Structure 1
Amino acid sequence: MLFDYNGSNSSFLQIRHLVLASNKLRAFPDFLRNQSILYYLDLSNNQIQGKIPNWILSLKSLNSLDLSGNSLASLEAPLPNSTSTLSSLDLHSNKLQGEVPNWILSLKSLNSLDLSGNSLASLEAPLPNSTSALSSLDLHSNKLQGEVPNWILSLKSLNSLDLSGNSLASLEAPLPNSTSALSSLDLHSNKLQGEVPNWILSLKSLNSLDLSGNSLASLEAPLPNSTSALSSLDLHSNKLQGEVPNWIFSLKSLNSLDLSGNSLASLEAPLPNSTSALSSLDLRSNKLQGIHSSYSFLQLGHLGLASNKLTTFPNFLRNQSYLTYLDISDNQIQGQIPNWIWSFKLQELNLSCNSLESLEAPLHNSTYVLSKVDLHSNQLQGHFPFFLNTITFTGPFQNPYAMQVVLFLICPIIP
C-alpha cells in the first residue's frame, strides 16, 4: 500500500494505491469517501452486495476501480454536475441486471469498461450529442437479447467490443455515413442467424471478427469496390452450407479464416488471377469432397481438412511452398501416400483415420523437416520407410504397420 501522509490531519492517511481484494468485506469502507489522492482501488472478490454508490465513481483522483467478483446488483446514477476521473472500471462477475445505463458509457475519462459475467439484458441508447471515450467494452456472458444496436458500433473511440455469450439474434444495419473505429468485434456464441451482412466485413478499421457458434447460413457478397481490413475471420460452428464463395479468399488483408464445423460441400471456382494473403485456413468438419487444383494460388502455412469426405489427396497441395501444418485425418482417402507430401516444409502431418495402404518411395535427394506424423487407424502394411527415422509417430496404433514403426523407434534395424 503506497500512501502520503496528510499533515493537515494527523489522524488520517491519504492513500494512492489500495488493494483489499479477496477479503470478506460486505460493504464499501466508509473511510474511502474522504480519499482525495486515491488513484487505484481494488475491492474485487469480496462479498459486497447491493448498489454501487455514486460517490465511489466520483472520487477526485480515482483512475482504476476493480469491483469484480462481488454480488453487486445495480449502479446508482451520478449526482448532477458530478465528474469522474475513472479510466478503467471492472464490474465483471457480479449480479448486475436490467439495462446498462447510458451515463456509464459517457463518463468523460472512461477508457475500459468490463461488465461481463452479469445478467444485463439491454443497453440504453445514448443521449443526443453525448460522447464516449470508451476504447474497450466487454459485455460477454450476459443476457442481452434481440438486435445489436448500430450506435454501439459507431462509438467514436471504441476499438474492442465483446458481446459473446449472449442471446443476440441480429445486427442492426449502420446509419448512413456513420463510421466505426472498431478493430475487434466478438459475437461468438449468440443466436445470430441468416446471412452475414456484407457491411460488417467492410467496417473500415475492423481487423478481427468472431461470429463462431451461431446459426449463420450464408455470406452476403461484398459490394463492388468495397474494401476490407479484416485479418482474422472466425465462422466456425455455424450452419453454412453449399459453396465457399471465391471472393472470401481474395479479401486483401485476410490472414486467418476458420470455417470449420459447418456443412460446406465445395469451394467455388476461384476468380481469374486470384491472389490471397491467407496463411491459415481451417475447413475441418465440413462435407468437402475435393478441392480443385486451381486453388494452388493459396500459399498456406496451416491447413485443416480433417473430418470431411475427401477420397484423394487434394492436388492443389502439390504447389504449397510454406505449409508447416496439415491435417487430413478422418476422411475417406485410400491407396498410397504420395511421396510429394513429404517434401514440403511440413513440421506436423496428420493422416490418421483414413484407409491408406502404403507409402510411395521417397523422391531422390529429398530432405525432410517433419517432426510429427500421425498415421494411426489406417490399413498400412509392409516395411517401415527408413527415410522417416527421425520422426515421432503418434497413436493409438491400430494396425501392424504402426507397430513396426514403434519397434523401429525403440530398436532400429540395420538395413
Structure 2
Amino acid sequence: MEDVFITGTSIISSFGNEKQTWEGILSGDNYPQQREYNLSNQEKLQYPVYQIEDDLIERINKQYSHITIREEFLRDDKDFKLLFLATLEALRNANLHLPNEKRIGLIIGHENLGVNPLIDSLLQEDNKMDIKNPINSFNHYKDKFFRLQTYTYLYYLAKLININGPTYAINNACASGQYALELANSLLKMNHADIVIVVAGDYAHFTEHLWLSEKGFSSNNGKLAPFTDTSSGSVLGDGVGAIILESETNISRRNAISKAKYINSSFSQDTWRINLPDVTTNSYEKVIKTSLSKYKGKPELVIPHGTGIPLWDKYESNGIKKAFESFRYSVPDVTAFKGYIGHTLGANSLIELILGINIFKNSVIPPITHRTINNSSEYDLPLVNTIIEKEVKSFIKTVAAYGGFNAATIIEKI
C-alpha cells in the first residue's frame, strides 16, 4: 500500500489563523475572556473562553466572498462557518483547486453538530411550548431537530466545496481528529479516494461549559497550565483545524509538496466512567505502546492531551512514562498547547497535531507556558519549560479523552 502524506493544513484559533497562532504561542501566553450568554428572561450569564472574535471570522470570510453560504440557517452557525473557512484555508495551503480534482473525500470531526442552534432556541427565545397541542411545539423546533442528523452538515459543506467522494461525520470526543485521520488514511490506502480533507472544530457554547463543569472539567482559578501545580482544571477554547491528506501517487501527479508523513495511529475504548480514566486497564499506556511498536524509530517529541485537570495530567504522565520505558526508551521532550488556545474539544487533537507540524517546519519547540512556574514533582516527564531550538524529525500526539477514547498518532517530518 502507498504511504500517505499531509499536503495542507490550517488553524483558526483565538490567536488568528495558523501563522498567527504559531507566532502567538512563541511570543507569550494567551488568556481566556468572559463570553456573555443571554437567556430569554433577560438574564446574562458569563463563562471563560479562549475566544475567536467575530471580526476575525469575517476577515477570513471576505477572502472567500466568491463562495456564498446560501442557506440562511447556516450563515449564523459559527460551528459550520469555522469548518467551512478552515477547509478553504487548508485547500489553499495545499494549492488544491477542487473542480480540477475527481476523487475527494471529506471527514468532519465535531462533538455537537446541530445541537447549539437548537439549544439557543430553547434558552434564548420566548417559550414556544404548547402543552395543549404538542405537535405545535414540535413544528416550531422541527427544522432544528432535523439538523441534529449530522449528515445535513456533511451535505452542505460538501456542496459548497464540490466534494464528490466518500464523506463521514464522526464524534469521538477530544480524540475525534485522530480517529478522522486514521479513517482518511484507510480511505486513501484502500484506493477509495486520492485526497481526503479532515476538518474538526468547536465554537465553545455555554451549555458545554455547564455540563463539563459538573464533570470536574473546569479550572477554578481561570488558569490553564498543563502538568503544573498552578492548574486546577481546563478552560474551553474556540478552534478549528483542517488537514489535507493525499496518496503518494496523487502527490506525484500534481507535483505537490508534502509537509509531513502520516505513520500510524492506535486506539482503544474504556468503559468505566464517561469522565474518568480506567486506571486498572492501562489503556492509554497500551495505545502509546502499540503505536511505538509499529514505528521503526523513536519519536523525538510527545504532544499529550494536557488538559490541566490534575487527575488526568497525572494519569497521562504515568502512561507516557511507562509506555516509553517498556521499550527501554527515555521519554523525549514533552510539550502541550492548551494553555495557549484552551481546550477546543472535538478540534483539539487535530489543531495540536498541526502545531506539531509547525515544529517540524520551524525547528522550534514551544514551552508548555511562558510563565515562571514550578512543575509539580508528580509529573515525572521532561517537560519543555522554555523555547527550545532544535530539529524534530517525528512526534507522537496522544489523547486520553472523555468517553473512554484513547488515541496515539505518529507523524514524521519529510
The answer to whether the superposition gives a TM-score over 0.5 is no
- For the aligned pair, the TM-score class normalised by the smaller chain equals under 0.3
Q: Normalization by structure 2: what TM-score?
A: 0.23
Q: Normalization by structure 1: what TM-score?
A: 0.23
User: Which of 1 and 2 has higher RCO (CA within 8 Å, sep 6+)?
Assistant: 2
Considering fraction of residues, name the structure with more strand: 1
From the CA coordinates, give the structure whose radius of gyration is larger.
Answer: 1
